[in-house]
Amino acid sequence: MHLAIFDLDNTLLAGDSDYAWGQFLADEGAVNRDAYSAQNQIFYEEYQRGTLDIDAFLKFSLAPLAQHEPAKLLAWRAEFINSVITPMVTDKARNLVAHHRQRGDELLIITATNAFVTAPIAEIFGIEHLLATQPTLRAGRYTGGYDGTPTFQAGKRLVLDQWLAGRQWQPQKTWFYSDSRNDLPLLETVDHPVAVDPDAVLRERALAAGWPIITLRD
């Protein structure tokens, strides 16, 4: 069987769910609006430049999960998915996923954005398998920390290898769709790397290597 792997933010989604979730929390008054929004923007720009300190970012982005009751977090998340994420899902992205599903490929989303935010997004696409940064949960509440390796940069390749080893399965062929220079460690190891609306660094690498460049924007 073949494996089709999809990055999420700015790949399957026409936007960044991690950044958008931070802005949503600020708008809802769940965090200090001005201070949180400003820091969220700084981290997002560092991510785009490929200089993000993932530990510092996760300490920032997971803190609100520890500051609020789970029921309130779930209510906010439901509204976030409905009002912010649904408009980011394009027909082209749905069609790409459907293409691989119709071929009989195994489907997987791998994203640095935490699993609390991304689990319902994977459900929108009907993708069962999700590898995402795992927020720590203790006695029914989030702690603000995370478990295991963040699925970011080389961490994506490591966590994917662990997932495959746990399933005792090696796909015959692999595809990986991504927009970001941060995903080059994984893009360079799959059989079919595909650049999706890529940033400048990934576009240059794709052109040099002859990788396909596609758009999933309507």
Q: How far is CA 200 from the centre of its chain?
A: 19
7, 18, 105, 179: which is the annotated catalytic residue?
A: 7
CA gap 145, 63 in Å, rounded:
8
| C-alpha torsion angle, residues 102, 107, 113, 117 (rounded to 10) | 70
How far CA 75 is from CA of 16, 32, 81, 136, 193, in Å, comes to 20, 19, 10, 19, 37
Sheet holding 213-214, edge to edge: 129-132, 106-111, 3-6, 174-178, 192-196, 213-214
Q: Active site includes 7?
A: yes
Token digits for 22?
Answer: 């931070």
Grouping H, G, I as helix, E, B as strand and the rest as coil, residue 51 is coil
Q: Active site includes 218?
A: no
Residue 41 C-beta-side C-alpha neighbours within 13 Å: 7
The 10 Å CB-count burial string (b at 16+, else e) for 91-105 is ebbeebbeebeeeeb
Token digits for 184?
Answer: 């080059």
Q: How many CB atoms lie within 10 A of CB 27?
A: 13
9, 16, 18, 105: which is the annotated catalytic residue?
A: 9
Catalytic residues: 7, 9
